[in-house]
Copies of this chain bind each other. A is one copy, B any other.
Amino acid sequence: MVKQPAPDTTRRSEKSRRAIYDAALALVGEVGYPKTTIEGIAARAGVGKQTIYRWWSSKAEVLMEAFLDLGEQSAHEAGQESYTFPDTGDLAADLKAVLRATVDELRDPRFEVPSRALAAEGVVNEQLGRELVAKLLQPSLQLYVERLRSAQDTGAVRPEIDPRIALELFVSPLAQRWLQHTGPIDHAYTDTLVDYALYGLTPR
């Protein structure tokens, strides 16, 4: 906190950074977030503790960057397809498809432990929370906004609807069930969500 003589980013060891990311994700997966320690990450990465403290200010920050990096890696490999949203003209079908994919992803144990840990940290640490939202959540949510706007253009969604609020009707219930273990998560559930939200609860 006191002094940050601006470490020289150009001299930074790429090898160490990779090793730290790998160690952090591996440890979180193996022993859980609370038992993951900076000392443990350093030891596993074959790195001095100072090398971690030089570039990050907390365990959560390390993990967040490691996780973001993991996401980028996946995206590269997969050819970016995760950042698109289907638009077949059938809004209900498109939403259901995307939510089904999200359900599958949430169940992938590779992502589960670190993302839970980050989410928990973000609940309590507002700054980190906002960073997470901005870097991890927002890009995905933006795709919903765009798809809903497109639906408004075709008349499938009422024009006065605010897409940024409307998307929460699909996304938040799923997120909450996952975060708070308030209920089971499966394709039938997300399909139902889409139906309820699109057509409302009252008789038509």
Contacts and interface: CB of A to CB of B under 8 A. Distances in A.
A120 interface: yes
Which are the 5 A-B pairs with shortest beta-carbon distances? A200-B200, A168-B173, A120-B123, A172-B172, A172-B176
Main secondary structure of the interface of A (DSSP, over half): helix
Given A119-B123, A137-B180, 7 more contacts: A120-B120, A123-B179, A165-B189, A165-B196, A169-B196, A172-B172, A172-B175
Contacts of A164: 183
A123 B165 contact: no
Interface string A158-202: 100110111011011101110111110000010011001111111
Contacts of A175: 172, 176, 180
Contact of A166 (B116, B129, B196): B196
A18 to B, nearest CB: 26
Contacts of A166: 196, 201
Contact of A129 (B168, B180, B202): B180
